[in-house]
Amino acid sequence: MDSENAYQKMLTAHLDSVFYGKAWHGASLLGTIRRLDSKQAILENREGFSPWKILLHCAYWKFDVRRALSQSAEQPTFPRKPRDFPRLPDVPDEQAWRADKEFLEEQHIALRNVVESFPTELLDEVPPKRSFTYAGLVLGAASHDVYHTAHIRNLGVVLF
């Protein structure tokens, strides 16, 4: 395997480990939210955070990093409003919870696919209007998942 391919494989492996599991640090984001039902997912702490709100927030930042890495002239818009912490569905039931967990996974897969096909020679470049390299954005998205996994697990929701 050449070093360029190894760089992308390392980035995608890290993204996947913190999202799906088998992460060095422990719990994964998807593994944590899969344990919750819709009633647990809407429980807010005193600061107004709930696992569901955090899930949608993570979906947005995966989207944002993917958009930063996109080589397309057309930039998509995030399908939920407001962008950073989108509103929950009008009816936050099990069906809507399943759909939003799938939405988060779709955003993860889309980001992973862009990373896999991103020109390796550009990974250490800083994109326009950003402060971090492309690789730094990808690692930031993974770190963001780790941070919010711990955030969800510390909200006081019973996970087992």
Provide the mean pLDDT of the chain. Answer: 92
Q: Which residues contact 145 (CB under 8 A, 6 or more apart)?
A: 15, 18, 19, 28, 29, 58
What is the chain's pLDDT, residue by residue, as a tens digit (160 residues)? 566 688 899 999 999 999 999 888 888 999 999 989 999 999 999 899 999 999 999 999 999 999 999 977 788 899 999 999 999 999 999 999 999 999 999 999 999 999 999 999 999 999 988 999 999 999 999 999 999 999 999 887 666 5
CA–chain centroid gap for 13, Å, is 14
Q: What is the pLDDT of residues 36-83, one digit of tens each?
A: 999 999 999 989 999 999 999 999 999 999 999 997 778 889 999 999
Q: pTM value?
A: 0.93
Fold of 3-153: Four Helix Bundle (Hemerythrin (Met), subunit A) (1.20.120)
Give just the sign of the alpha carbon dihedral 48, 77, 38, 14: negative
Tell me the helix, strand and coil percentages in the chain, rounded to 5.
Answer: 60, 0, 40
Q: DSSP letters of 12-48?
A: HHHHHHHHHS-BTTB--HHHHHHT--HHHHT---TTS
